[in-house]
Amino acid sequence: MQSIMLAALLAVISNPAFAAQQTITLAVPGMSCAACPITVKKALTRVDGVTRAEVDYDKRQAVVSFDDARADVAKLTRATADAGYPSTLKEAEK
């Protein structure tokens, strides 16, 4: 009986159903050439949990989709900063 309860508890704790897909926009003002987005995109897609990263040089921003159980804003901004392009979370337009 204890093993059944333990298995059920582990299933609830490790269930990815609590994870959610999120999409955020990061401001990346330090991009200074048309090649910069390649580096930023590569840095973001290497973060565990990132499912999509679209980087726009003209807008100096990156739109990133990720699994919030494996990635978060801090990991994403750290990844761009480590690549030489500090970023910040853009506020959603209202």
Provide the domain count of the chain: 1
Q: Could you tell me the pLDDT band of residue 92, with boundaries at 50, 70 and 90?
A: low
Does the residue 94 lie in any domain?
no
* pLDDT tens figures, 67-84: 999 999 999 999 999 999
Domain carrying residue 58: 19-89
Does the residue 10 lie in any domain?
no
Give the predicted TM-score (pTM) of the model: 0.78
pLDDT value at residue 94:
44
CB 66 within 8 A of CB 54: no
* pLDDT tens figures, 7-48: 554 555 555 556 799 999 999 999 999 999 999 999 999 999
Distance CA 18, CA 7 (A): 18
pLDDT value at residue 83:
97
CB 56 within 8 A of CB 13: no
CATH number of the domain at 29, please. 3.30.70.100
CB 93 within 8 A of CB 77: no
Distance CA 80, CA 15 (A): 30
Does the residue 11 lie in any domain?
no
CB 87 within 8 A of CB 62: yes
Does the residue 71 lie in any domain?
yes
Does the residue 33 lie in any domain?
yes
